[in-house]
């Protein structure tokens, strides 16, 4: 059975992208994959501009392990696309679980739960994991609902968490892969909006736990500029024309309220201008039906 046809028990792959700066964390993550009570069909590890050590024998990894080294850092979405292309070449995977290289699967039944979720829901496109630190705390920004305070409330949502999630390969064949040109920031929203517009379901499943250190996205030097640029690109690509100025006006106001750094604001507005001037890529706006669907689910695409 080829990619795009989900079997009774979907075949699972695991993909990890690393820049080589967290070797101990990658070892721990892959060891947690090896302890899963359902073994993945394949494991793909991408060295994003870095060499990779031997993993399989040293960590006792199950299934087929493929290490891919690329010459330059392609960003998170670009690196994940490398893994997806290789999985398509193999042609024997229905669902890919993508994990941050500093994450950890605490429970041994994560892959089995993912498999079972996709087995009973043919139009399930994306499953978002719950992300919590070593103390069990989930940062507010990691709860995929507006104003959500309870990270243990699951269900259908409009977005998902990049650190830990599962993607249907059939869905990706229809929607396309990650927007590699984004490099970092808002790539999950671009993919989620395309999935929703194509009629796929996005679920947040809090029982799927990825332990991840507490971090701030602003730790990245490019955070403010790229976040603003990609937001402009995102709405230029995906929103109906009347909603573009509304969305951008909302986010300008939120940025002015939230950002305390003058340098951060300067970088943000520089990225905003860059997003207006530079090509945003293919424009494929969502249908108004999708706008209404996202609104009913609690997150209209202007927020």
The CATH number given to whatever domain includes residue 169 is 3.90.550.10
Predicted TM-score of the model (pTM): 0.93
Q: Structurally, how many domains does the chain consist of?
A: 2
Tens-place pLDDT, residues 152-206: 999 999 999 999 999 999 999 999 999 999 999 999 999 999 999 999 999 999 9
Tens-place pLDDT, residues 46-89: 999 999 988 877 777 887 899 999 999 999 999 999 999 999 99
Tens-place pLDDT, residues 15-35: 999 999 999 999 999 999 999
- 104-105 vs 42-48, strand pairing mode: unpaired
d(CA 32, CA 37): 10
In a domain, 91, yes or no: yes
Number of Cβ within 10 Å of residue 141's Cβ equals 11
In a domain, 92, yes or no: yes
Closest CA to 208 of 295, 87, 124: 124
- Tell me what the pLDDT averaged over the chain comes to: 93
Closest CA to 184 of 13, 15, 19: 19
Q: Are residues 126 and 209 located together in one domain of the fold?
A: yes
**Domain's final residue, options 215, 234, 252:** 215
> What does the pLDDT read at residue 99?
98
In a domain, 247, yes or no: yes
> Residue 221's pLDDT band (boundaries 50, 70, 90)?
low
Q: Are residues 188 and 112 located together in one domain of the fold?
A: yes
**Domain's final residue, options 215, 243, 271:** 215
Task: Tell me the average pLDDT across 256-279.
Answer: 94
In a domain, 2, yes or no: no
Share above pLDDT 90 across residues of the chain, in percent, rounded to a whole number: 84
Q: Are residues 200 and 236 located together in one domain of the fold?
A: no
Secondary structure (DSSP) of 146-157? TT---TT--EE-
Closest CA to 252 of 279, 277, 231: 231
Q: Are residues 189 and 238 located together in one domain of the fold?
A: no
**Domain's final residue, options 189, 215, 241:** 215
In a domain, 1, yes or no: no
The residue ranking higher by pLDDT, 171 or 4, is 171
Q: Are residues 59 and 187 located together in one domain of the fold?
A: yes
Query: What is the three-class DSSP state of 114?
Result: helix
> What does the pLDDT read at residue 36?
97
Q: Are residues 175 and 54 located together in one domain of the fold?
A: yes
Closest CA to 112 of 206, 43, 208: 208
In a domain, 18, yes or no: yes
Task: Tell me the average pLDDT across 117-142.
Answer: 94
Domain that holds residue 255: 218-296
Both tokens assigned to 152:
């243990």
Q: Look at residue 2 and tell me whether its pLDDT is greater than 70.
A: no
Q: Are residues 177 and 239 located together in one domain of the fold?
A: no
Q: Are residues 85 and 194 located together in one domain of the fold?
A: yes
**Cβ within 8 Å of residue 52, ≥6 positions away:** 18, 20, 45, 67, 68, 69
Q: Are residues 166 and 236 located together in one domain of the fold?
A: no
> What does the pLDDT read at residue 1?
39
Q: Are residues 134 and 224 located together in one domain of the fold?
A: no
> What does the pLDDT read at residue 216?
64
Q: Are residues 118 and 251 located together in one domain of the fold?
A: no
Q: Are residues 102 and 188 located together in one domain of the fold?
A: yes
> Residue 4's pLDDT band (boundaries 50, 70, 90)?
very low
The residue ranking higher by pLDDT, 221 or 286, is 286
CA distances from residue 51 to 18, 19, 23, 67 in whole angstroms, order as listed:
10, 9, 11, 9
> What does the pLDDT read at residue 217?
63
> What does the pLDDT read at residue 159?
96
In a domain, 195, yes or no: yes
In a domain, 4, yes or no: no
């Amino acid at each position: 059975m080829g990619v795009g046809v989900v079997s009774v028990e979907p075949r699972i792959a695991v993909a990890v992208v690393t820049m080589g700066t967290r070797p101990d964390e990658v070892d721990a993550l892959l060891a947690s994959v090896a302890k899963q009570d359902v073994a993945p069909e394949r494991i793909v590890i991408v060295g994003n501009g870095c060499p990779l050590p031997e993993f399989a024998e040293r960590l006792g990894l199950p299934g087929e392990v493929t290490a891919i080294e690329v010459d330059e850092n392609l960003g998170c979405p670009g690196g994940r696309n490398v893994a997806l292309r290789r999985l398509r070449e193999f042609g024997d995977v229905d669902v890919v679980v993508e994990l941050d290289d500093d994450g950890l699967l605490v429970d041994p039944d994560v892959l089995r739960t993912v498999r079972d979720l996709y087995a009973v829901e043919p139009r399930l496109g994306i499953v978002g994991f719950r992300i919590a630190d070593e103390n069990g705390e989930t940062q507010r920004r990691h709860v995929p609902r507006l104003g959500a305070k309870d990270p243990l409330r699951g269900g259908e949502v409009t977005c998902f968490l990049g650190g830990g999630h599962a993607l249907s390969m059939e869905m990706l064949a229809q929607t396309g892969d990650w927007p590699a040109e984004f490099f970092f920031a808002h790539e999950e929203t671009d993919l989620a909006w395309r999935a929703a517009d194509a009629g796929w379901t996005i679920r947040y499943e809090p029982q799927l736990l990825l332990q991840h250190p507490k971090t701030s996205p602003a730790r990245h030097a490019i955070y403010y500029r790229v976040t603003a640029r990609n937001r402009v690109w995102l709405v230029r690509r995906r929103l109906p024309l009347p909603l573009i100025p509304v969305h951008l006006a909302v986010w300008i106001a939120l940025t002015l309220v939230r950002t305390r750094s003058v340098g951060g604001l300067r970088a943000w507005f520089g990225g905003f201008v860059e997003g207006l001037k530079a090509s945003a890529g293919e424009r494929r706006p969502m249908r108004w039906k999708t706008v209404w669907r996202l609104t009913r689910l609690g997150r209209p695409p202007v927020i």
